[in-house]
């Protein structure tokens, strides 16, 4: 009888609990879900990347277009759980050894693909007359990497087990740790308060990832019963979900993105015997939760601001700089895995997504970014997010072909080659 709930006085509303969920809110969340799914359907039928469809679907029902939905706190929570589940599922598909095997190119890529965009962003900022603090935030926004979009594309294309996919994932984890430290430094410098806490946060972040990796090594071959010993757990899902959420929250409290913790939790469980069953159980949760992430992200797009020529030019300059510097980061950092593979890594680092949006808003909040540059930067962040799936769609088939040819070449001179007589 929710339609009648309006009658009680506001001070009683806390008592209503389960029945107090306003029908309007449920409808609004439902429309966001429908928008994302309808967008995906249209995109797929037009041969476009599914995730671009979900983003545009969210944009169309969102506040900057039809305004059917204005995502609030609840949508944000569903979106956050959605991307946490997405990265947890990605972690489930990755073996720690495979990730460590690409440690060198991943570290190099992360460092170069953070350094170059910062330099480019600061240079552009100074060129257009921003003070150093504002320029630094432009650099940081261009340096951020949101792995959510890329993970989804790699998963959709079924290439999460490829070398370049692992380099992107490893680099994204390192990138997030670096970004955390860099933001702490810039925000601290802006407030004239460069305390030791930034360093401590950095150490804690590295510690969490390190402990996670060590736990993954120890978790190898753990029996399914480790997860199903509670009486409430007929299957590993609920204990694994609790572990995922614990890591995500720890990660968020340290200051890292929650998805980093979720990814590490996935890595750990991937080593246990519960892996395969969990991959099946987590799938329905991903299908229902993750559209909220892409829908909410899409609802933040303000494609209308592209109509302002000043913003458009600035956004294009920043977008080009953002794409080129990340691509170069991949090419320089991951060249050991092959030419197209390294370009695929660079393309995978392109989307700034919600991480970039947070940085841009931080800069605005700190009073370091004016309204004009704020809009241009926000549009650039959004464009990198929409462009990336297209870049990946072009690059990945070539990277796969390159890997195939390289494997054939190795086979030709390897053990299956002609005998040495």
Q: How far is the CB of 393 from a second copy (least distance, A)?
A: 16
Interaction mask 122-161, a second copy, x per CB under 8 A = ----------------------------------------
Stretch that binds a second copy, among 233-241, 263-271, 323-331, 405-413 (CB under 8 A): 233-241
Among 196, 231, 307, 371, binds a second copy (CB under 8 A): 231
Torsion of CA 363, 366, 367, 370, to 10 degrees: 10
Q: How far is the CB of 200 from a second copy (least distance, A)?
A: 13
Among 96, 208, 296, 399, binds a second copy (CB under 8 A): 296
365 binds a second copy (CB under 8 A): yes
3-state DSSP assignment of residue 45: helix
Give 355-379 as a 3 state SS string. HHHHHHHHHHHCCCCCHHHHHHHHH
Residue 133 CA to residue 364 CA, distance in Å, equals 11
User: Where in 99-215 does DSSP place strands (E)?
Assistant: none
Closer to a second copy by Cβ: residue 1 or 421? 1
Q: Which of residues 181-210 bind a second copy (CB under 8 A)?
A: 183, 187
Q: At what angle do helices 197-218 and 237-254 cross, to 10 degrees?
A: 160
Q: How far is the CB of 235 from a second copy (least distance, A)?
A: 8
- How many C-alpha atoms does 107 have within 13 Å on its Cβ side? 4
Region of 338 on the Ramachandran plot (φ > 0 left; ψ -120 to 50 alpha; else beta): left
Which residues contact residue 175 at a Cβ distance below 8 angstroms, ignoring those fewer than 6 apart?
110, 113, 114, 143, 144, 145, 349
- Rounded to a whole number of angstroms, the CA Rg of the chain reads 22
287 binds a second copy (CB under 8 A): yes
73 binds a second copy (CB under 8 A): yes
Stretch that binds a second copy, among 275-283, 305-313, 326-334, 393-401 (CB under 8 A): 275-283
Residue 155 CA to residue 273 CA, distance in Å, equals 22
Stretch that binds a second copy, among 331-339, 354-362, 381-389, 408-416 (CB under 8 A): 354-362
Closer to a second copy by Cβ: residue 170 or 184? 184
Residue 251 CA to residue 327 CA, distance in Å, equals 28
Residue 32 dihedral angles phi and psi, to the nearest 5°: -65, -45
Residue 67 CA to residue 244 CA, distance in Å, equals 34
Among 100, 132, 242, 332, binds a second copy (CB under 8 A): 242
Among 68, 107, 185, 252, binds a second copy (CB under 8 A): 252
Q: Which of residues 6-65 bind a second copy (CB under 8 A)?
A: 7-9, 12, 14-23, 25-27, 29-30, 33-34, 37, 40-41, 44-45, 50, 63
Residue 351: how many other CB atoms lie within 10 Å? 33
Q: How far is the CB of 204 from a second copy (least distance, A)?
A: 11
Among 99, 141, 258, 268, binds a second copy (CB under 8 A): 258
Closer to a second copy by Cβ: residue 344 or 378? 378
């Amino acid at each position: 009888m929710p339609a009648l709930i309006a009658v009680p006085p506001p001070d009683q509303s806390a008592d209503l609990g389960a029945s107090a969920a306003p029908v309007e809110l449920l409808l609004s969340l439902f429309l966001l879900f429908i928008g994302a799914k309808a967008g995906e359907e249209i995109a797929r039928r037009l041969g476009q990347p599914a995730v671009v469809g979900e983003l545009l679907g969210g944009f169309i029902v969102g506040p900057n277009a039809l305004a059917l939905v204005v995502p609030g706190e609840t949508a944000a929570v569903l979106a956050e759980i959605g991307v946490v589940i997405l990265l947890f599922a990605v972690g489930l598909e990755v073996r720690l050894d495979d990730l460590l095997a690409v440690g060198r190119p991943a570290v190099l890529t992360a460092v170069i693909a953070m350094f170059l965009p910062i330099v480019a962003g600061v240079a552009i900022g100074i060129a257009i007359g921003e003070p150093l603090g504002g320029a630094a935030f432009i650099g940081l926004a261009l340096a951020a990497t949101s792995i959510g979009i890329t993970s989804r594309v790699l998963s959709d294309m079924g290439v999460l087990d490829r070398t370049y996919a692992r380099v992107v994932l490893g680099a994204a984890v390192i990138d997030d740790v670096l970004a955390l430290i860099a933001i702490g430094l810039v925000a601290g410098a802006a407030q004239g308060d460069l305390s030791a806490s930034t360093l401590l946060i950095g150490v804690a972040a590295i510690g969490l990832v390190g402990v996670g990796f060590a736990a993954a090594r120890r978790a190898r071959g753990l029996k399914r019963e480790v997860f199903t010993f509670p009486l409430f757990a007929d299957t590993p899902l609920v204990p694994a979900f609790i572990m995922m959420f614990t890591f995500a929250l720890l990660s968020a409290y340290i200051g890292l993105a929650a998805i980093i913790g979720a990814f590490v939790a996935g890595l750990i469980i991937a080593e246990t015997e519960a892996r395969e069953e969990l991959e099946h159980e987590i799938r329905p949760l991903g299908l229902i939760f993750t559209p909220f992430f892409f829908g909410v992200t899409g609802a933040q797009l303000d494609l209308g601001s592209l109509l302002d020529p000043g913003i458009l030019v600035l956004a294009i300059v920043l977008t080009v700089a953002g794409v080129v510097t990340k691509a170069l980061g991949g090419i320089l950092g991951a060249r050991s895995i092959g030419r197209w593979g390294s370009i695929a890594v660079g393309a995978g680092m392109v989307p700034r997504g919600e991480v970039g949006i947070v940085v841009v808003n931080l800069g605005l909040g700190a009073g370091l970014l004016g309204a004009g540059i704020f809009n241009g930067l926000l549009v650039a962040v959004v464009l990198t997010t929409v462009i990336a799936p297209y870049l990946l769609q072009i690059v990945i088939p070539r990277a796969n072909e390159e890997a195939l040819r390289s494997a054939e070449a190795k086979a030709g001179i390897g053990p299956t080659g002609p005998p040495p007589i």
